[in-house]
Structure 1
């Protein structure tokens, strides 16, 4: 009977470390590029500019909590020599894509917290934003699924 390697035994930790890091990274990119550099929107645009800046600060802080949590989990995996790079990177892409899709569909359209950019024809922005998110999510899920198959294949006699 074969025993699981460290990476196989820590499959969920590899996945969640990547997901948290992916959420943190994409939120950081969103906040830095679209909020700070381009001034396209704030996390919450239904109030004053001051409220928008405070909401951006809270969003930034929460994104860094996700990033740090993901890195702590990754450091533990490294210490245990249990990193499954494919699963971790798949988690990173899936986390980034899931967050971006949530942002584009729920925060932008359902809750109306903000739009990508306040322009007359928003459709093109929405399509690019959500298709990019779906692509990241699909590639990430594909990597996660194939990493799981590789683990099962290694365990077969």
Structure 2
């Protein structure tokens, strides 16, 4: 195997580790948002600009999306582990990057620009928005740091 071929293989597995983590992180944060803020606390629905019935349908679609992303990410992870090409740091970096990226998208695009829902319908919503978006930024920074620190030493597990 040539050096160019080895580098190409390495590049493929670096991307797969990252995408697997991103999908799992995105799916987990979306699942957590749906379960805690939509179902348990009843703070909002995915789409609040219509009837409660439509809000519940939108929650169901959002929930399905979160699980498809999670399952897809775990299928990629299973393949990486089968090939002994799982890079734990890069994968966890991807999880944090995907989760934080989704949360920041939700907080800025869906909450403020599209206004399809607010995190909570209270007088001082800005406090909730700040905490939500700062948590997202912290996850993105931590994920990027893990990815940068990765030396690509696949786990043998």
8 Å contact from structure 1 (residues 7, 83) kept in 2? no
SS at match of 1:27: helix
Residue 37 (1) aligns with residue 40 (2): yes
| Map 1:46-85 → 2, pairs under 5 A | 46-85=49-88
Instruction: List per-residue Cα deviations over 1:93-137 (Å, max 9, x = no partner).
Output: 000000000000000000001000000111110010000000001
- Residues in 1 aligned to 2:62 and 2:129: alpha-carbon distance in whole angstroms: 21
8 Å contact from structure 1 (residues 44, 114) kept in 2? yes
| Map 1:1-157 → 2, pairs under 5 A | 10-147=13-150, 150-151=151-152
Question: Once superposed, which parts of structure 1, at least 4 consecutive aligned residues long, lie more than 6 Å away?
Answer: none
Unaligned runs of 5+ in 1: 152-157
8 Å contact from structure 1 (residues 19, 70) kept in 2? yes
Q: Report the number of matched residues.
A: 149
- Residues in 2 aligned to 1:19 and 1:57: alpha-carbon distance in whole angstroms: 22
- Residues in 1 aligned to 2:43 and 2:144: alpha-carbon distance in whole angstroms: 30
Kindly tell me: are residues 74 and 7 of structure 1, through their superposed partners in 2, closer, same or farther at Cα, counting changes over 3 Å? farther
SS at match of 1:55: helix
Instruction: Calculate the aligned-residue CA RMSD, in Å.
Output: 1.8
Q: CA deviation at 1:144?
A: 1.0
TM-score of the two chains, using structure 2 as the length reference = 0.90
Unaligned runs of 5+ in 2: 153-157
